[in-house]
Amino acid sequence: MNLARVAQRLGITECRLQGLQETIIRESAWPEPRLLRFEKETSGIEAGTVIFENGEIVFGYPKIRRPLMLAAAIKRHFSDIVAVEEKMNGHNVRILSLNGEIVALTRGGFICPYSTEVARRLIPESVFEKHPHRVLCGEMVGPENPYVANDIYPTDSIDFYLFDIAEKNHRGTLGVHKTHEFAQEFGLLATAFFGEFRKESAAERIKQIVIKLGRQGREGVVMKDPENIVPPLKYTSSKTNCSDLAVAFRYYNDYALDFFVSRAVREGYQSVEWNESEEERRARALSLGESILLPLVDTIKSAQQGENIVQKVQIRVKSLQTARDFEYHLRRSGIRTIFEPPEPDDGGYLIRITKLVMSTNDKTQALLEGEMW
Amino acid sequence: MNLARVAQRLGITECRLQGLQETIIRESAWPEPRLLRFEKETSGIEAGTVIFENGEIVFGYPKIRRPLMLAAAIKRHFSDIVAVEEKMNGHNVRILSLNGEIVALTRGGFICPYSTEVARRLIPESVFEKHPHRVLCGEMVGPENPYVANDIYPTDSIDFYLFDIAEKNHRGTLGVHKTHEFAQEFGLLATAFFGEFRKESAAERIKQIVIKLGRQGREGVVMKDPENIVPPLKYTSSKTNCSDLAVAFRYYNDYALDFFVSRAVREGYQSVEWNESEEERRARALSLGESILLPLVDTIKSAQQGENIVQKVQIRVKSLQTARDFEYHLRRSGIRTIFEPPEPDDGGYLIRITKLVMSTNDKTQALLEGEMW
């Protein structure tokens, strides 16, 4: 690897790069190709940025910030027009081609064997033949997404929706319009585009979009500058905030504490901004309370009946090696699982996976036996 | 100070005591008398344990643990009989006499100037004349409790309710019966005693007591071993869990994250243990949701109207010096306040205090202006 060139592409000195290699840059030797990952953001380089052995860099996808007061944030943040796209609920991947092979990187900069197999199935080879330096940024969603399984999208398995395009070795992305043109050119799915609005009326229009998405169980929106000058923002439906809470309280001892509070606080701001009536606020309070109480009750009752608290997901693979690799990938990510024997299915294999939720399971068992909190 | 004797009373070696002085033992030179405080629990010595200059020790009041499944915990924890007392909602103090002067220690082992003045007014001198080594452990409650103001108890100002008795230089306490006898002998208020129950029927009886207390806005119960062999346990009403949440969400950026989650989880366990109907569960979910949403909405609306997010409390003192000392005491505890000019009242002074809730205030202002979370 030519360190000087890599440092230059990263926009830092060679000396700084060497310093980082001992601290926040980590090597990932598996699966091939080997790479270096930025474990945290530093010197303006996003977390999840990856340097491959040949010196090629894929920058991390920037974290999208979230306002709690939509209208005020739009007014403050955007210059004139706001382009609105759907925010989908799955996992973020960056797909690229390296030495003629497609790989899919997770947010953190690991190669995910399952996402890679899915990407190889879904992305036509012509994409990277024509644009070998492109990085496709998008969301993998569907019921066979083992990170975040979701039934609300039109797929029985897992699909990839493009939401942005980057270039290897370059920061920044190509923006809304080029992304949709690109998707159309190659017949890729892209996240739904809801239109462009003047900043004065955008908040009201987005509110209506978000309410409608919420009714369909869909997550929310990403607001983008069509000129791609200021960074995007995101905003979610009440339904999403509540269903996040429902998942978190179902596995209440396995989630970070700030996850709970941030979702509840979003509900407060949305209720104020949307100027709700007492009746609407009561309905929101009930949904909020139910999304906390009912999953807790379910979890506790399951444990009372002697069931283990687990999360069941499934994947569908062409190659059994992918499943074995994915099992190892989850293990290195700290997720404990049980992979059931593969069920041959339609030229491939269906594999049911049980994700163990050890902390909630153990805590709930102990509390049921009269242990103290 | 005779270090050897102090170490012996603490049950540790002199060498260990010296080691601790550089780490978790802190000096508090103000207000007089000077003392050393254990900032954390160590070597089985409770946090808040205090060593005075004359070598006398007041052990910290042990933390009372909380089961989430009441019946299972009672069965597991108690040997036969469970004595049930009210858990009151105020602040825990230890009152003692040192060189003929009454002082009140906070949970953390500081002398609180206001609690000390209150203790001097409420505790008859005969108590310590007759029992100079006694330490009165109890709760200060009422609307003029500046830590936790509460209107539900029969006082217009602040009262002290005895809940246990200790002896200087000795671990452990004298237990339920001696405490109530002592209170009666000296005409002190003591926390309500709800009776003694066999462990088989205790959970059901306590449930009824807790529901009734909840309806009155009162906090819950402490369960004690009448023989004082196993440590006490505590259990609170749904109303208390929800009103804790209401306070925490009103000042959502100033509370520790685990405060929120633990209260919500308690509701889940109570709902399961009490085997609630769908209707009851729905009502609980609504209260829970409202205790989160409505205080958030209030806080955000107040900030929208340009009001500062503050907490208003008041104290009543005989001496203006107490007020000045208390102001300093709050400041050293990291609480920012504005003390209004004293209002002469009934031979003393009423002082209104505004506690600044800086973090929530600043965060809410910023979010209203469209800042990101």
Same domain for A82 and A52?
no
Same domain for A327 and A293?
no
Does B281 contact chain A (CB < 8 Å)? yes
Does B330 contact chain A (CB < 8 Å)? no
Same domain for B95 and B82?
yes
- Residue pLDDT, tens place only, A55-87: 999 999 999 999 999 999 999 999 999 999 999
Same domain for B112 and B230?
yes
Segment A108-130 mean pLDDT: 97
Does B247 contact chain A (CB < 8 Å)? no
pLDDT at B30 (0 to 100)? 92
Using a CB-CB cut-off of 8 Å, the residues of chain B touching A290 are 282, 285, 289
Same domain for A208 and A347?
no
| Residue A352 falls inside a structural domain | yes
Closest CA to B204 of B48, B295, B74, B342: B74
For B78, half-sphere exposure in the C-beta direction (CA atoms, 13 angstrom radius) is: 30
Does A24 contact chain B (CB < 8 Å)? no
pLDDT at B5 (0 to 100)? 92
- Positive or negative: CA dihedral B295, B296, B302, B305: negative
CATH of the domain at A321: 3.30.70.2160
Domain of residue A46 covers 3-58
Using a CB-CB cut-off of 8 Å, the residues of chain B touching A284 are 289, 293
Give the C-alpha separation, A325 to A214, whole Å. Answer: 36
pLDDT band, very low/low/confident/very high, at B119 (cuts 50, 70, 90) = very high
Give the C-alpha separation, B93 to B281, whole Å. Answer: 37
Give the C-alpha separation, B160 to B175, whole Å. Answer: 18
pLDDT at A23 (0 to 100)? 87
Q: Output the CA–CA distances (angstroms, integers) from residue A317 to A147, A326, A329, A330, A338, in the order listed.
A: 15, 10, 15, 16, 16
Q: Which residues between 303 and 322 in chain B have a beta carbon less than 8 angstroms from any beta carbon of chain A? A: 304
| Residue A63 falls inside a structural domain | no
CA angle B147, B148, B151 (to 5 degrees): 140
Angle, to 10 degrees, between the axis of helix A70-77 and the axis of helix A199-215? Answer: 140
What distance in Å separates residue A17's CA from the closest CA in chain B? 31
Residue B297 contacts residue B304 (beta carbons within 8 Å): no
Q: Which of B286, B298, B305 to mutate against chain A (most A CBs within 10 Å)?
A: B286
Query: Which residues are B235's β-sheet partners?
Result: B221
- Residue pLDDT, tens place only, A133-186: 999 999 999 999 999 999 999 999 999 999 999 999 999 999 999 999 999 999
State the ipTM, two decimals.
0.91
CB A69 to CB B290 under 8 A?
no
pLDDT band, very low/low/confident/very high, at A242 (cuts 50, 70, 90) = very high
Q: Which residue type, as a one-letter code, is found at position A15?
A: C
What distance in Å separates residue B311's CA from the closest CA in chain A? 19
- Chain B residue with the nearest C-alpha to that of A282: B290
- Positive or negative: CA dihedral A248, A252, A256, A262: positive
Does A368 contact chain B (CB < 8 Å)? yes
CB A301 to CB B66 under 8 A?
no
- Residue pLDDT, tens place only, B325-338: 999 999 999 999 99
Give the C-alpha separation, A359 to A251, whole Å. Answer: 8
Same domain for B129 and B229?
yes
| Residue B63 falls inside a structural domain | no
CATH of the domain at B221: 3.30.470.30
Largest Cα–Cα separation, chain B: 64
Global pTM exceeds 0.90: yes
DSSP track, A249-291: HHTTTSS-HHHHHHHHHHHHHHHHHTT--HHHHHHHHHHHHHH
Same domain for A226 and A286?
no
Task: Please tell me which of the candidates B260, B268, B287 has its beta carbon nearest to residue A300.
Answer: B268
What percentage of residues in chain A have a pLDDT greater than 90?
95
Closest CA to B114 of B89, B87, B142, B135: B142
- Residue pLDDT, tens place only, B184-200: 999 999 999 999 999 99
Q: Which residue type, as a one-letter code, is found at position B127?
A: V
Q: Residue A339, Cα to own-chain centre: how many angstroms?
A: 23
Q: How many domains does chain A have?
A: 4
pLDDT at A93 (0 to 100)? 98
- The number of residues in chain B equals 373
Give the A:B interface size as CB pairs under 8 Å.
177
Same domain for A121 and A15?
no
Give the C-alpha separation, A212 to B87, whole Å. Answer: 47
- Positive or negative: CA dihedral A148, A153, A156, A158: negative
| Residue B255 falls inside a structural domain | yes
| Residue B182 falls inside a structural domain | yes
Give the C-alpha separation, B371 to B368, whole Å. Answer: 7
- Chain B residue with the nearest C-alpha to that of A232: B372
In the block, residue with structure tokens 């939401």: A163
Same domain for B80 and B228?
yes
| Residue B115 falls inside a structural domain | yes
Query: Which residues are B349's β-sheet partners?
Result: B317, B344
| Residue B293 falls inside a structural domain | yes
Residue A210 contacts residue A236 (beta carbons within 8 Å): yes
pLDDT band, very low/low/confident/very high, at A204 (cuts 50, 70, 90) = very high
CATH of the domain at B352: 3.30.70
- Average pLDDT in chain A: 96
What dihedral angle (degrees, nearest 10) is formed by the CA atoms of A338, A342, A343, A346? 130
CATH of the domain at A9: 3.10.450.740
CB B297 to CB A74 under 8 A?
no
Task: Inform me whether the pLDDT recorded for A22 exceeds 90.
Answer: no
- Residue B150 DSSP SS3: coil
What distance in Å separates residue B157's CA from the closest CA in chain A? 34
| Residue B31 falls inside a structural domain | yes
Using a CB-CB cut-off of 8 Å, the residues of chain A touching B299 are 268
pLDDT at A346 (0 to 100)? 87
CB B67 to CB A282 under 8 A?
no
Same domain for A122 and A162?
yes
Element holding B135 (H helix, E strand) = strand B134-141
Segment B128-148 mean pLDDT: 97
pLDDT at B23 (0 to 100)? 87
Q: What share of chain B is helix, strand, coil (3-state, %, to 5)?
A: 40, 25, 35
Task: Please tell me which of the candidates B75, B272, B286 has its beta carbon nearest to residue A285.
Answer: B286
- Residue pLDDT, tens place only, B297-321: 999 999 999 999 999 999 999 999 9
Q: Which residues between 176 and 235 in chain A have a beta carbon less than 8 angstroms from any beta carbon of chain B? A: 233
CB A300 to CB B368 under 8 A?
no
Where does a domain end: A304, A319, A352?
A304
CATH of the domain at A278: 1.20.58.2250
Same domain for A97 and A39?
no
Q: Which long-range contacts (CB under 8 A, 24 or more apart) does A208-213 make?
A: A209/A84, A210/A235, A210/A236, A210/A237, A211/A237, A213/A86, A213/A237
Task: Please tell me which of the candidates A68, A268, A369 has its beta carbon nearest to residue B76.
Answer: A369
Same domain for A96 and A220?
yes
CB A268 to CB B300 under 8 A?
yes
